[in-house]
Amino acid sequence: MLHISVKSFQELSNTELYGILQLRSEVFVVEQQCVYQDLDEKDQKALHVIGHNRGSIVAYTRIFRPGDYVETASIGRVVVRSLERKYGYGKEIMRASIQAIEEHFGERIIHVSAQLYLERFYHELGFEQIGKGYLEDGIPHIGMLRQ
């Protein structure tokens, strides 16, 4: 079972921050073989949606108010540890992120920059493609919006 918490950057413990950065590096840098600057100085503005299971962070997103990253509220750095993906934690952490945006920011329109291969995953959560595809850090992406 996934236990989810939502915290500001200032509320994160050192252990939580380390776990988040470790998970993001494990998936985005090592698994996806993408060398990019993960530490982008946006974590301080974000709310962090953290999914714990058996004492470790296994799922995560960061969410933003409108204007803090893009014009609308947004969800980014969506990640689930590879061995935990079979349990549906991706949808669970996304639903919690959508709910957190509605509760904390009072917003319903949400943007994601989705890796192209995950288009169906986001579509099932109510997101629709906007614009054309593009490369981000060498990986095909599409903009998607949930209204």
Residue-by-residue pLDDT tens, the chain, 147 positions:
899 999 999 999 999 999 999 999 999 988 988 887 888 999 999 999 999 999 999 999 999 999 999 999 999 999 999 999 999 999 999 999 999 999 999 999 999 999 999 999 999 999 999 999 999 888 999 999 999
Token pair recorded at residue 136: 């981000």
Which one, of 91, 9, 20, lies nearest residue 56 by Cα? 20
Count, residues in the chain: 147
Amino acid at 122: Y
C-beta of residue 50 within 8 angstroms of C-beta of residue 16:
yes
CA distance linking residue 139 with residue 94, whole number of Å = 21
State the pTM of this model: 0.95
CA distance linking residue 40 with residue 33, whole number of Å = 18
SS (H, E, C) 29-61: HHHCCCCCCCCCCCCCCCEEEEEEECCEEEEEE
Other CB atoms within 10 Å distance of the CB of residue 114: 23
CA distance linking residue 79 with residue 69, whole number of Å = 18
Write down the pLDDT at residue 33.
Answer: 84
Q: Enumerate the domain spans of the chain.
A: 3-107
Class of 3-107 in CATH:
alpha beta
C-beta of residue 131 within 8 angstroms of C-beta of residue 111:
no
